[in-house]
Amino acid sequence: MKIKTEREISLVDLMKEKMGGSITKIKKKIKQQEVFVNGELITGHNPQIPAQSVVEFRETKRLLSMNIPILFEDSDLIAVEKPTGLLSSQSLKDKDGTVLGKVNQYLSHKTHNKERAFVVHRLDQKVSGVILFAKSYRIEQELSKNWTKFEKTYHAAVEGHPAKDSGTLESWLYEDRNYKVHSSIEQRADSKLAITHYEIEKKFRRHSLLSIKLGTGKKNQIRVHLADLGCPIIGDDKYGSNSNPIGRIGLHAHTLSILHPVSGKALTLHSPSPKSFFNLP
């Protein structure tokens, strides 16, 4: 079912207007469906929907709690689509409110505590997209050993237009005591080499959509390198962005291509980038 909004309205109020029923029944219905606004999956319980938006309701299929879609699962691996704003793995402050925590809750319920997830890699809290977990320490070790051989692609919505349509960014990254990552053309004792490949996928009047391939996988690497390029990621005020037309950071882990650690077969995990990335001002 699709609904077009005539004015800004909350999701619950919209459903009450169009479908009727009590607030309790409406909230229950929301939990039982995937809700998309202008093609983007909504993870909040009662978000404000802008005017002239297309709201689509789809029956929920194989979703973890908090509307986290499962992209792939077998006896060795589980990959999910991480929403923006959620930590990848456990922190001291919140052990359950993370992607890892939600995956473990799902596996525990499904297998009666016989399976749990092991962290293979992480995405920044504000970044969305493909994230992969192993179901055993042995599989995690096998993936980690070969991690640099796997291909990872991202979509980055950035301010401005790079001078060249494609290129490779390379520098030494180091982190200060405030956990901000900096870039240097010269190696330091505490720095790590980072390599990022980019290509312009689409140009807009004031912004660009870039396809990113990682040569290395360092903390905040894409964010720092695109700031170095003079095209910071939109919504990323930590690294110099001055605009946020889509209400979130413009970085999404689009695909992850690996060799399955048991079968050896090629496996590509894919998470569609938000439609807002393709409709920038």
Closest to 273 in 3D by CA, of 250, 249, 254 = 254
Superfamily (CATH) of domain 150-281:
Pseudouridine synthase (3.30.2350.10)
The structural domains of the chain, with segments of one domain joined by +, span 2-61, 63-146, 150-281
CA distance 116 to 135: 6
Contacts of 113 (CB under 8 A, 6+ apart): none
Nearest CA to 278 out of 165, 186, 101, 157 is that of 157
Which CATH number applies to 2-61?
A: 3.10.290
pLDDT at site 203: 96
Chain mean position to CA 137: 24
Q: One fold for both 63-146 and 150-281? A: yes
* 275: phi then psi, degrees, rounded to nearest 5: -65, -25
CB atoms within 10 A of CB 159: 24
3-class secondary structure, 190: coil
Q: Does domain 63-146 have CATH number 3.20.190.10?
A: no
Please say whether the beta carbons of 69 and 106 come within 8 A: no
Q: What is the pLDDT of residue 64?
A: 54
pLDDT tens, the chain, 281 aa long: 788 888 898 888 888 887 777 777 777 766 666 677 876 666 566 778 888 888 887 654 444 555 688 888 899 999 999 999 888 986 555 555 789 988 988 888 888 888 999 999 999 989 999 999 999 999 999 999 999 899 999 999 999 999 999 999 999 999 999 989 999 999 999 999 999 999 999 999 999 999 999 999 899 999 999 999 999 999 999 999 999 999 999 999 999 999 999 999 999 999 989 999 999 99
- Please give the structure tokens belonging to residue 223: 């964010």
Answer whether 244's CB lies under 8 Å from 234's CB. Answer: yes
Question: What is the rounded CA–CA span in Å between residue 25 and residue 22?
Answer: 5
* pLDDT reported for residue 94: 53
Q: Which pTM was predicted?
A: 0.75
Find, among 214, 218, 230, 243, the residue nearest to 164 by Cα. 230
In this predicted structure, what is the pLDDT of residue 61?
A: 46
Residue 138 parent element (H or E): helix 137-146
pLDDT at 158: 98
